[in-house]
Amino acid sequence: MSERLPTRLWRAIATAWRGDALPSGRSYAAAQPHRLLSDWAGTAQSANKATRYQGKALRHRARELRENSGLVARFAQLSRDNIVGPDGVTLQAVVPSTRGSNTAVARQIEAAWYAWADRCTPDGQSWISVCQTLAESWRVEGEALLELIPTSAAPMGLYVRALDVDLLDDKKNTDRTPTGGSIVQGVEYDGMGRVVQYYVLEDHPSDGEVSRYRVLPANRVVHLAHRSRPQQTRGVTPLAPIMTLLQHLDKTDEAIVVLNRVTASKMGALIPGADAQPIDSADGTPPLIEQAPGEWWTLPTGWDVKMLDPGQPTQEYDVFAKHLQRKIAAGLNVSYESLTGDMSSATYSSARMALLVERDAWQGLQTQFVETVCEPVYRLFLQTAPFLYAFELPVNQSPDTVAEASIWHPRRWPWVDPLKDAQGLEVLLSLGLTTRTREANKQGLSFADLVAERAAEEQLLADAGVTLGDAPAAPAEPPTDATASDPTRSLRVA
């Protein structure tokens, strides 16, 4: 005891000298040293330092998984389908006025926007195609980059171009710039922490040549990144938590396939007996004999065959693989059924619950996509298109006010149970707990457009003299005095 006491005192003195508080109890069990947790090391790196040295490797491995892993390829397609969808994020232009909204100008803006969206890149791609590419890059690689190019050569004075995120020069780092800011992995900040410009390489780093970079102002670049920590500049792939599981699962599946193929091949080895005749071969090594399915062949005298049976995979592998796939789906924040297509163990209630939770997650990503990508592009579009007389904004309205007032409608999904959901909606409308405009927005539709389409349909039917549905029944004739006084009338009618 006398030998251990000084050691404890020295430790206490050293702890106090470092400024750390002396432990006053067990507190958090996960923070205590333990022999079973000796290999559990936390991270003390800043977010930017971690992405500076590890972000590129994660991004490249995520790309490899997208190209070779079926689950990641499925996740990439889910990102395209659920964030953007087949029809893209639709625009409902709103031009505020003293009377509520200038509908005529709003329709002109929408027409100009969709005309521009049909071919919005220098090589003629559509806006929907660009958005789907950005959504996949964002959700798989962790980042997406879009360059905005105002030019009179464009149909509406504006081009956009999706860029490979590898072009954002992550080697460009400066602790202090002349303006008091900093440069972090190709992104320059001012003294207030605002992004002022981006350093974009002209050629991909893998081309092997020393590439120069272009300095693009912040209002000409859209940088969509998956960030999980404050003050994080570059994004990290959402696949990071489950990458090792994906790799192990894919390699295990490959080994299982090879094992089944080998087992089905029924390989064997030739074993010579005591009186075996030599088999001639060019280099003196035992020959390889290939046998086609259903083929019989005769061995030389004195030779025998020993079949090789590597065995079959364990029957529990399917359960184990599903366990890993469920962990992967949870890490990607999607349902197991959506990621794998396996509905064998799903019930209506469980599938519906998982689908509703997943759709909430997709809606959150849609909101971030609209705020980061659609709104900046639309704001610049409103500044460039009027100069080409595509439309003319009112004198008292600016592109910023129109952009803030306009509404975006991301894709929505059909009701899980259309009849019950429609009946529930009818009850909510009757109680005044919702509005038709709000419910239309939830379906990715504009109530104003629905009203206009309904009026156009009714007018078209009226002009053509066509009535849809069953014709209304003719009103019943009033009873005569004779039938009214006849007490057996009701019996005869029945």
Q: Where are the domains of the chain?
A: 47-238, 414-467
pTM for the full predicted model:
0.77
pLDDT band per the 50, 70, 90 thresholds, residue 5: low
pLDDT digits (tens, 9 = 90+) for 48-102: 999 999 999 999 999 999 999 999 999 999 999 999 999 999 999 998 876 666 8
pLDDT tens per residue, range 376-400: 999 999 998 876 666 788 877 888 9
Q: Among 111-125, 164-178, 339-353, which is the least confidently predicted range?
A: 339-353
Q: Is the pLDDT of residue 301 over 80?
A: no
pLDDT at 483 over 50: no
How would residue 488 be classed by pLDDT, with cut points 50, 70 and 90?
A: very low
- Residue 383's SS3 state is helix
Give Cβ neighbours of residue 96 (< 8 Å, ≥ 6 apart): 102, 397, 401, 402, 405
Rg (CA), the chain: 35
Strand partners, 268: 307
CA distance 183 to 55: 17
Label residue 352 by pLDDT band (50, 70, 90): confident
Q: How many CB atoms lie within 10 A of CB 484?
A: 9
Q: Measure the CA angle with vertex 363, ends 362 and 366; round to 5°.
A: 90
Q: Is the pLDDT of residue 473 over 80?
A: no
- What are the phi and psi torsion angles at 145 (to 5°)? -130, 130
Residue 494's pLDDT is what? 35
pLDDT score for 1: 46
Kindly write down the DSSP assignment for every residue of 222-278, as one continuous string: EEEE---STT--S---TTGGGHHHHHHHHHHHHHHHHHHHHHHHT-EEEEE-TTPPP
Residue 185 near residue 51 (C-beta atoms within 8 A): yes
Least confident of 15-24, 120-129, 253-262: 15-24
pLDDT at 310: 67
Contact (Cβ atoms closer than 8 angstroms) between residue 169 and residue 201: yes
What does pLDDT average to over the chain? 83
Higher model confidence: residue 178 or residue 474? 178
pLDDT value, residue 476: 53
pLDDT at 40 over 60: yes
